[in-house]
Structure 1
Amino acid sequence: MTLMPFAWIRGLSGGLRPLRALVARGWLRESDVDAWLALLHPALRLSRVMARVTARQWVADDMLALTLRANGNWRGALPGQHVQLYLERNGVRLSRSYSLTALRPDGSLEIAIKRQVGGRVSPYLLEHLAVGELLELGPVYGELSWPEQAQGLLLLAAGSGITPLLGLLRTALAQGFSAPVSLLHYVREQGQRAFVAELQALQAQYANVQVRWSLSAAPADASQLQGRFCVEHLADITGLAQRSVLACGPAGFVAQVQQWWQGANQVGGLQYEAFTPPALQLDSQRREVRLGFARSHWVAPADNQRSLLEQAEAQGLTPAHGCRQGICASCTCTLLSGTVRDLRSGLLFSEPGQPIRLCVSAPHTDVEIDL
């Protein structure tokens, strides 16, 4: 039982400044203060962002939209960004990143979660998380943005890549964007088309919006496209060369879009974001190396094939991390000695004191990191 309603929590954030000052000076421990604040309400914290689930809505057969109301520590976000979400399962703290599909005037936000078969987080969120429960939110990140001066836009999404693009589209239309917008969403089956009713309503309400779906593993009807992304799917889009392009989906899909854009002499720019890691560039020969974790006082055998994050986790360490593909920078640590290889580009880095991202860096020689 809580001693105050959740509606009071946002307004109390400013009143906690004296306690934050005492923590900053080392006179109090934040964990102790949070424990006492939680007795008043579980969402009341000095700095951590806690959010209450206020609504659940299935927007596809395998995707659920959650509306969240955050406490006063939430500092906002931009359309198209992602937010880190934390929860504990069986005593293990888990983290996943989800796109913000809506940022509402009342301060609430919406994320959309696609079921990942065999996953540790999404099945729980979809099947068991109830309205009224609390989640913790972490940093926001992401660089997709709506080009407001564009003569037209082409939005290309595959699977859950629809989520950041929907967040951008909703905001742009609400702010009066009137240039042509064409959205193509690639899914396997009819039931995986997310936010169908809303997208159809937007298409009916705004004369400048066109929405189409393409099915890759089921028959398409007369109004739909068939198969994976190809240039033929763009044939009826007017003024294509002048349109700016935003693309989001798995790495393979994004690579196809990049290849088309580079050869199409597009005048408009391209922004893209992949939610699966790109193909990593591994050394041709496997080598054994030694991996040192300075703050943990741990030295362990390692290899040059796996990321530093994977190998740290294999030793029982729990480094902070988020996207696991080098985007969010949550896993950034300092290289103290040795040489690491960037698994995306193959480049080598050996300057002591250099920040490196554990999820996309592998040891090239014996390495010591500040972890």
Structure 2
Amino acid sequence: MSLLPLFLIRWLAPLLWPLRALTTRAWLREAEVDAVLARLHPAWRLNRVFARVVGREWVSDDLLALRLRCNGNARGWRAGQHVQLHLQLDGVRHSRSYSLTRVGAGGLIELGIRRQPGGRLSNRVLDHLPVGAVLELGQARGELQWPEQGAGVGLLAAGSGITALLGLLREALARGYTAPVTLLHYVREAGQRAYQAELQQLMLRHPNLQVRWLLTGQDARHDPQGGRFQAGHLLGMSDFGLLACGPAGFVEAVRNNWGGSLQVEAFSPPQRISEPGQAVRLDFARSRVAALGDSNRSLLEQAEEHGLRPAHGCRQGICASCTCTLLAGTVRDLRSGEPFAEPGQPIRLCVSAPLGDVQLDI
């Protein structure tokens, strides 16, 4: 039972700055301060974000809108970003990245969580996480922004990619965006058309919004406008700012058929090159480990093979949990092929491969 209400610990959060200063100077241990705060309320921490489940709503056959109210440590979050959700399962801490579909007043947020066949964390959340439960979140990350330039905005989502774009759409319409907006949502089956009732209501209230659901599974043959993404679906959007979110293959197909302003976010790993690459030398400076590596494989995989345990989360280049500093050498982004060679530059291990000998601050 909580000794203090959640609204009060949110109000008190900024007043804890003296304790934060003392822990920064190592005069107090943050874990000990957190233990005392947690006795007063299970969601109270000095810096870490904890949240209480305040609502659950199924918005398609396989996608749940999970509503949470955070303690006072979720600052500057924006719809369209993503957060790591941490949950202890059978004594093991698991983490997954989910998009913020809403960021409201009073610490209220909403996440879109889709069922994954065989997924341990998603299925536990969907089937067993009750209203009132308290869980931990990472800080929000992500660069997707509503395009302010162009004659309109095109939103292309495949599957649960809708969750990264919905929050941006909600906020843009709420603040009075009146230029044309076209949302294309690609789903395998009709029952996966997430947020369908809400989007239909938004179209009634905002004549500038057009939403189309395109079926890509067996039902596609019954839908003359269905099917997987193709260049023809972009007709009428040539002057739009475009955002695309979905599996890596979908995002790459959009990228290859679009020459204008484009922001993308892929929630599956980029396709790996199966053939071995050039032999390179890997120097993990902080761990004092030197080893031979492969120029075609991610640095996270190779670090783990050599006994290291770098922090990581999504393994897809989304959550940034595996970010480390490149000390020397050149790496390649496995998603875009872009090289990075500036010493001191942060890189994401899970989507970076060495182009030659490299030194990392791990």
Same fold (TM over 0.5): yes
The SS at the match of 2:165 is helix
Q: In the TM superposition, what are the counterparts of 1:5-44 in structure 2 within 5 Å?
A: 5-44=5-44
Aligned to 2:302: 311
Aligned to 1:142: 142
Q: In the TM superposition, what are the counterparts of 1:27-176 in structure 2 within 5 Å?
A: 27-176=27-176
Query: How far apart in 1 are the matches of 2:170 and 2:65?
Result: 15
Q: In the TM superposition, what are the counterparts of 1:213-232 in structure 2 within 5 Å?
A: 213-219=213-219, 225-232=225-232
Residue 258, structure 1, aligned to residue 250, structure 2: no
The SS at the match of 1:244 is strand
Alpha-carbon shift at residue 278 of structure 1 (Å): 2.4
Q: Structure 2 counterpart of 1:329, which letter?
A: A
Alpha-carbon shift at residue 11 of structure 1 (Å): 0.9
Check conservation: 1:213, 1:224, Cα contact below 8 A: no
Per the normalisation by structure 2, the TM-score is: 0.88
Deviations 1:208-252 (A, max 9, x none): 1111111111325988722111234455xxx53332222211121
Query: How far apart in 2 are the matches of 1:312 and 1:243?
Result: 42
Measured at CA, do residues 261 and 300 of structure 1 come closer, stay the same or move farther in structure 2, by a change above 3 Å?
Answer: closer
Q: Structure 2 counterpart of 1:331, which letter?
A: C
Aligned to 1:279: 271
Return 5+ residue gaps in structure 2 as ranges. Answer: none
Query: How far apart in 1 are the matches of 2:265 and 2:127?
Result: 28
Measured at CA, do residues 339 and 173 of structure 1 come closer, stay the same or move farther in structure 2, by a change above 3 Å?
Answer: closer
Deviations 1:176-206 (A, max 9, x none): 1112212111000011110111111111222
Alpha-carbon shift at residue 132 of structure 1 (Å): 1.1
Aligned to 1:329: 320
Alpha-carbon shift at residue 349 of structure 1 (Å): 6.2
Query: How far apart in 2 are the matches of 1:206 and 1:137?
Result: 34
Q: How many residues align?
A: 362
Measured at CA, do residues 104 and 222 of structure 1 come closer, stay the same or move farther in structure 2, by a change above 3 Å?
Answer: farther
The SS at the match of 1:219 is helix
Check conservation: 1:158, 1:185, Cα contact below 8 A: yes
Measured at CA, do residues 292 and 121 of structure 1 come closer, stay the same or move farther in structure 2, by a change above 3 Å?
Answer: farther
The SS at the match of 1:225 is coil
Query: How far apart in 2 are the matches of 1:178 and 1:215?
Result: 28
Q: Structure 2 counterpart of 1:76, which letter?
A: G
Query: How far apart in 1 are the matches of 2:94 and 2:194?
Result: 26
Alpha-carbon shift at residue 122 of structure 1 (Å): 1.1
Deviations 1:109-154 (A, max 9, x none): 1010111212232111111111111221212222221124542222
Query: How far apart in 2 are the matches of 1:309 and 1:318?
Result: 9
Measured at CA, do residues 362 and 48 of structure 1 come closer, stay the same or move farther in structure 2, by a change above 3 Å?
Answer: same
Measured at CA, do residues 358 and 65 of structure 1 come closer, stay the same or move farther in structure 2, by a change above 3 Å?
Answer: same
Alpha-carbon shift at residue 318 of structure 1 (Å): 3.5
Q: Structure 1 counterpart of 2:316, which letter?
A: Q
Alpha-carbon shift at residue 316 of structure 1 (Å): 5.5
Aligned to 1:198: 198
Query: How far apart in 1 are the matches of 2:220 and 2:327?
Result: 55
Query: How far apart in 2 are the matches of 1:325 and 1:23?
Result: 33
Deviations 1:13-66 (A, max 9, x none): 122122112112211111111111111111111100111111111111111110
Measured at CA, do residues 295 and 240 of structure 1 come closer, stay the same or move farther in structure 2, by a change above 3 Å?
Answer: closer
Measured at CA, do residues 38 and 221 of structure 1 come closer, stay the same or move farther in structure 2, by a change above 3 Å?
Answer: same
Alpha-carbon shift at residue 80 of structure 1 (Å): 1.6
Check conservation: 1:212, 1:225, Cα contact below 8 A: no
Measured at CA, do residues 204 and 349 of structure 1 come closer, stay the same or move farther in structure 2, by a change above 3 Å?
Answer: closer
Check conservation: 1:10, 1:71, Cα contact below 8 A: yes
The SS at the match of 2:132 is coil
Check conservation: 1:84, 1:95, Cα contact below 8 A: yes
Aligned to 1:244: 241
Check conservation: 2:149, 2:241, Cα contact below 8 A: no
The SS at the match of 1:34 is helix
- Which has the larger displacement, 315-324 or 210-219? 315-324
Check conservation: 2:276, 2:296, Cα contact below 8 A: no
Query: How far apart in 2 are the matches of 1:92 and 1:175?
Result: 43
Deviations 1:66-92 (A, max 9, x none): 011110111032222112222222333
Measured at CA, do residues 181 and 356 of structure 1 come closer, stay the same or move farther in structure 2, by a change above 3 Å?
Answer: closer
Query: How far apart in 1 are the matches of 2:308 and 2:129?
Result: 28
Q: Structure 2 counterpart of 1:29, which letter?
A: R
Return 5+ residue gaps in structure 1 as ranges. Answer: none
- Which has the larger displacement, 153-162 or 79-88? 79-88
Aligned to 1:184: 184
Check conservation: 1:50, 1:136, Cα contact below 8 A: yes
